[in-house]
Amino acid sequence: MAAALPLETIKLPPGFAIELWARVDNARQMALGGVDANGGILYVGSMRAGKVHAVRFDAAYRAGTVTRIADGLPLPTGLAWKNGALYVAAVNRILRYDDIDRRLNQPPAPVIVTDSLPKDTHHGWKFIAFGPDGKLYVPVGAPCNICAPGDPYAVILRMNADGSGREIFARGVRNSVGFDWSPEDGVLWFTDNGRDWLGDDTPPDELNRAPRPAMHFGFPYCHGGELADPEFGAQRRCSEFELPAQKLGPHVASLGIRFYTGSMFPAEYGKQIFIAEHGSWNRSSKIGYRISLVRVQEGRAVAYETFASGWLQNQSAWGRPADVQTLPDGSLLVSDDYAGAIYRITWRKP
């Protein structure tokens, strides 16, 4: 029996509550599968565990059986579900499991969508999602802390669902492990993890906005829109690159994000951005280990605040948020790869 998790330490705004929803080994990105009147399925990737799981839930959104549907994959963190098929990113490959909702107990052999992505495992894990244009968006991180590796590294790619038509959508992106599209205008917003070894307080992580293709967000030349890199900054000016929509905390390891489109939470949370901050690993004083909220008005970030905290206690972490996902009832799921858990956050009027 797994040890109980100290959820009583989690601080939330008034009216919100958090509960343990499911135990899933090394839970990373989540993707919602089919949902009907009887319930649905949540798919969950992992990193070091090399597994993909499916969590069945009932009509009341209570989690039930957890089924392992894939094993032995390299860093299968990224998942996307479309037209009954589950897409899994495993470093250099995108795999597709067709008609998966009905075949959980006997998963099909995967179809290889592409196997021509870089094989580097440094920042080789992925967060993937289908955009409003129907294309699959796939980041390829820089294979280093700081370097100028050229294409196809430090980019966000997009491709057709069958792997054809691949193109670079954005450049200068060191390591994005989360993105979503605004429900207002369909624009892509994404997190990017800043470089290491420039001190505790620099550079910031970034939340970026990409309303069109071919934008460059600065890596490796410029960080946070204004900090020239000490190794590469002399080659290009910061003024050449896009400014962050919002500077996030330095080294907070911002991962999965979601615009909130549910109806359970108060209206002030509608169309705002929740971000899973995995937490710093090399800062002298740890930060992150929380769910943050970026408030957005008319396509601009106007505030950055803490929504849920408490996974870090006295500089010791018992959990690390990795992704956020809204259920159809409007509750918010949070995956935690360190504690091997998925939490559910709900709201009731105080």
pLDDT of the residue at 127: 98
* Per-residue pLDDT at 173: 99
Inside any domain, residue 212: yes
Write out the DSSP string of 312-350.
Answer: EETTEES--EEEEEE-TTS-EEEEETTTTEEEEEEE---
The full DSSP string for 92-141 is: TEEEEETTGGG-SSSPPPPEEEE--S----TT-----EE-TTSPEEEEE-
Q: Where residue 282 falls among pLDDT bands split at 50, 70, 90?
A: confident
Q: What tens digit of pLDDT does each residue of 13-67 get?
A: 999 999 999 999 999 999 999 999 999 999 999 999 999 999 999 999 999 999 9
Residue range 105-120, pLDDT digits in tens? 999 999 999 999 999 9
* pLDDT value of position 105: 95
Mean pLDDT (the chain, rounded): 98
Query: How much is the average pLDDT of 155-177?
Result: 99
pLDDT at 163 over 70: yes
- Buried b / exposed e over 170-193, threshold 16 CB at 10 Å, is bbbbbbbbbbbbbeeeeebbbbbb
Q: For 47-70, give one letter per residue: b (16+ CB within 10 A) or e.
A: bebbbbbbbbbeeebebeebeebb
Residue 3 confidence class, pLDDT cut points 50, 70, 90:
confident
Residue 227 pLDDT exceeds 80: yes
Residue 8 in domain: no
Q: Is residue 19 domain-resident? A: yes
Q: Determine the structural domain holding residue 18 and report its residue range.
A: 13-347
In sign, the C-alpha dihedral spanning 179, 184, 186, 187 is negative
Q: CB atoms < 10 A from the CB of 162, how many?
A: 11
Tell me the mean pLDDT in the region 269-274: 99
Percent above pLDDT 90 for the chain = 97
> What is the number of structural domains in the chain?
1
Residue-level pLDDT at 172: 99
| Residue 73 belongs to a domain | yes
CATH number at residue 254: 2.120.10.30
Whole-number pLDDT of residue 2: 67
Report yes or no on 2 lying in a domain.
no
The pLDDT value recorded for residue 350 is 86
Residue 281 has pLDDT above 90, yes or no: no
